[in-house]
Amino acid sequence: MITKIRPVLIIAFSLLISYILWFLGQVQPKPVEELSPPDVIIETLTNIDHQIKINSTGTTKPLTQTVLNSEVGGEVIYRSKKFSEGSSVIVGEILAKIDDTDLQLQYKNALLQLANAEVQYSVQLAETEVAKKAWEEIGEGDASDLTLKKPQLKQAEALLNVANAQVESAEKKLNKTEITAPYTGRIQSVNIDLGTTILPGQPIGAMYTSSEIEITLAVKDSDLQFLSIPMDGRKLNINEKSDVLIQTFYKGENQSWKGNLERVDGVIDPITRMINLIAIFKNDFIEKDKPTLPIGLFVEAEIDGVLLQDVFKIPSSAISAENTLFVVDKNNNLELRKLKILKKYNDYVIVKDDLKVGERIVISKLSNASTGMTVNPIYQ
């Protein structure tokens, strides 16, 4: 029985092995897929001429500011309606008057003293002439000064000079009772009112020029290379004055004004490496729908620097923290390039010598990139 079953098992086993071999022959290993080069956005370089812009901030202030003082004391008997904060005044305009009653009396007394001194001098001069003639008729040799009454004449002349000085002083004080605007401008503050009693030298208010506005702008010392300005503090000539544009939100909308750099103020701060530039803005113009530039306004400024020729404007997205970028060669392989950046802005940088016209640069982010890596360039 066993002898009869054994051939059957052998045949069954052989068939099983054959089926397994046939099945394995039908299963083919999957080929390994090759990774495609990563897509990168590229830009083909062209050179440009670029006007350097230097950014800063500052606060408007008057070019000239003056504390108004009264040189004489007394009671305020007149105050102009225009002598109020914010009002505009013209040069020579009377702002206030001080009671001059006492000064008028002093002036009249000084005139009387002068008239008396003139009479005394005239009398003494006549007596000197009489003494001189008398000596010429009866005297011998040179007459003494006492004989000719010269000491008396000198004393009378001295008294006359004193009287003249007193009249001049009294007249000046009398004229100082009218306090006038030293120049055309605007009133900043007022410290008096009608009936106020003030002392000589006491401040009664302040005013400033409204025709010109000054702004101090701090810039990096590295930006000085882009400005044609002397460092000796002198005012710039017409060819050295860079244009300055200031902007801010004022009276419900964005406003802008144009001015010029005037001079460098001070020296470079050794800690911050910043230096102050002074810009001047003419404020005597009235443009349609544009307000005049107020005092105390915080503004953002943009200063025109030199014009750089044949440079490249590179998006900041293409630049690493180490100032490198990837260039795509003719075989679509990456090449890491170190750059010397001339000027950095928020969205782009300016480069000159490290790149060539026609080269392709990667401007998109690329993870795990390395030199020699093949990429699929996509033109922007």
For the chain, the average pLDDT equals: 84
Question: Is 193 found in the same domain as 83?
Answer: yes
Query: Percent of the chain scored above 90 by pLDDT?
Result: 42
Are residues 94 and 187 located together in one domain of the fold?
Answer: yes
* 8 Å CB contact between 264 and 275: yes
Task: Flag whether 33 is in a domain.
Answer: no
Closest CA to 283 of 208, 218, 347, 376: 208
pLDDT tens figures, 68-119: 998 899 999 999 999 999 888 999 999 999 998 888 888 888 888 888 888 8
Residues 118 and 163 in one domain: yes
Nearest-CA neighbor of 93 among 106, 80, 105, 77?
A: 80
Predicted confidence (pLDDT) per residue in 130-142, tens digit: 667 766 667 666 6
Task: Write out pLDDT tens, residues 189-199.
Answer: 999 999 999 99
Residue at a domain's end among 270, 305, 340: 305
The label of the residue with tokens 């005394």 reads 120
Please tell me whether residues 218 and 295 are part of one structural domain: yes
| Domain containing residue 348: CATH number | 2.40.420.20
CATH number where 89 lies? 2.40.50.100
The CA-based angle 105-181-250, given to 5 degrees, is: 150
Task: Say whether both 151 and 275 belong to one domain.
Answer: no
- Tell me: do 112 and 196 sit in the same domain: no
140 and 188 co-located in one domain:
no
Range in 94-98, 337-341, 363-367 the model is least confident about: 363-367
The model's pLDDT over 278-311, given as tens digits with 9 standing for 90+, comes to 999 987 655 556 678 888 999 999 999 989 999 9
86 is written with which tokens? Answer: 């914010």
Identify whether 142 is part of a domain. yes
What is the reported pLDDT for 29?
54
Same domain flag for 107 and 171: yes
Look at residue 36 and tell me if it is in a domain.
Answer: no
Domain that holds residue 158: 100-176
Total tally of structural domains belonging to the chain: 4
Kindly tell me if the per-residue pLDDT of 2 is higher than 50.
Answer: no
Query: Which has more confidence, 282 or 18?
Result: 282
